[in-house]
């Protein structure tokens, strides 16, 4: 790629995720996520395919990226585990 290509300079934010609870019997994962100065709690009901994020303020910024991450990694995540992923946006 050309170094002057604007695609090389897309803004990014690293999101940090901590798994607080998971239950494969209930098909649910609870955790918290931070990105820049934002903090949220989430519930991923993977049996229903539902992602709930609280508080709703700013949740639209993280929802799609968090859902993609969870869909890829949900069975690999462990309670107490810390994870991170990159969001192609600046918060």
Render 28-78 in DSSP notation, one character per residue. Answer: EEEEEEEETTEEEEEEEETTTTEEEEES-TTHHHHHHHHHHHHHHHTTT--
**Which residue, 38, 87, 81, 91, is CA-closest to 67?**
87
Mean pLDDT within 55-70: 92
pLDDT in tens, 33-53: 999 889 999 999 999 999 999
Q: Is the pLDDT of residue 2 over 50?
A: no
Global confidence as pTM = 0.82
Enclosing domain of residue 45:
34-91
- Residue 3 is classified by DSSP as T
Domain presence at residue 40: yes
Residue 69 has what pLDDT?
A: 95
Give a yes or no: residue 28 inside a domain: no
User: How many domains are contained in the chain?
Assistant: 1
pLDDT at 41: 98
Taking only the tens place, the pLDDT of each residue in 8-31 is 678 899 999 999 999 989 999 999
Answer yes or no: is 14 within a domain.
no
Q: Is residue 81 part of a domain?
A: yes
């Amino acid at each position: 790629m050309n170094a002057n290509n604007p695609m090389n300079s897309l803004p990014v934010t690293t999101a940090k995720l901590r798994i607080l609870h998971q239950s494969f019997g209930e098909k649910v994962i609870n955790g918290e996520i931070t990105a820049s100065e934002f903090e949220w709690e989430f519930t991923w009901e993977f049996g229903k395919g539902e992602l709930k994020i609280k508080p709703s303020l700013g949740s639209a910024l993280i929802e799609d990226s968090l859902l993609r991450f969870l869909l890829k990694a949900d069975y690999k995540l462990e309670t107490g585990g810390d994870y991170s992923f990159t969001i192609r946006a600046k918060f």
